[in-house]
Chain A
Amino acid sequence: MQFFWAFVVGGILAVLAQLIVDLTKLTSAHVMVLFVSSGAVLSGLGIYKYIVSLGGAGATVPLPGFGHALVEGIVKAIDKDGAVGILTGGLTATSLGITVAILMGYIIALLFNPKG
């Protein structure tokens, strides 16, 4: 069942993004930025955690999940360390993904050449 909801929630987020790209002049980069920020705001309002409990990876894998992870990390760091957590929690919580992405970008660029 969790797989079904992951598919549905991940699919709906993708459809929303596709609608914006098709119906407005925004590019996919604009929409990616918009969705990360929206995820952060929805997380702050306490809404995104319900989307995560329904969709599982369907909510954490798309970019709004990245915004949610940033805010969750900040909230956790504030509860633990106080005000400084506002500035430390976001990157602490997302460091694994960001570091892996940059390392992989570097390694793949060294090993491969673009096709065509």
Chain B
Amino acid sequence: MLKASKKEEKRFANMQEKRKPPVPLGSNLIRAFITGGLICVVGQAIMEILKMLGIPPDGAAGPTAAILIVISALLTGFGVYDDIGRFGGMGAALPITGFANAIVSPAMEFKREGFVLGLGARMFTVAGPVLVYGLVTSTVVGFFYYLLKG
């Protein structure tokens, strides 16, 4: 069997790299800005409504996130959030709606691999790391807060 030398492999990898279309950086950034901004405006609107219903301002962020998660999960089910994601890139992934999408989308897709190791496990492909590192970092921060407070 013919085997490409390391050097040739590297040359080929470089060629592949050059073939890739240049990333349209400017338009990606504008779309991310608009998408991320608009999702937060929807969040702000939900928050204002909750405040009008008598929920205290400092307690409104949690319920707002929960409502956004429900909306995003439904949009993911109907296949709409995929389109938002294709348009908005990180503008769609970074808000809590993107976190919800990252849970719902693989849950739907891997249902065919079974309800336990498919749906149940794949749900956390992206959400798992987010929860793990969020908890680890915040626990370390909390530990220092406890030490410095004492």
The answer for the CA separation of A61 and B12 in the assembled complex, in Å, is 43
> B31 → chain A, closest Cβ, in Å?
8
Interface size on B, residues (CB 8 A): 78
Chain B, range 58-106, C-beta contacts under 8 Å to A:
61-66, 68-70, 73-74, 76-79, 82, 88-91, 93-100, 102-105
Distance to closest chain A CB from B3 (angstroms):
26
Q: Does B55 make an interface contact (CB < 8 A)?
A: no
Given the known interface contacts A37-B133, A65-B96, the answer about A100 and B70 at a Cβ–Cβ threshold of 8 Å is yes
Q: Interface size (A, Cβ < 8 Å)?
A: 75
In the assembled complex, which residues on chain A have CB atoms less than 8 Å from the CB atom of B34? 11
Using a CB–CB cutoff of 8 Å, the interface residues on chain A facing chain B are: 2-3, 6-15, 17-19, 21-23, 28-29, 31-33, 35-37, 40-41, 43-44, 55-58, 60-63, 65-67, 69-71, 74-75, 78, 83, 85-87, 89-91, 93-94, 96-98, 100-102, 104-116
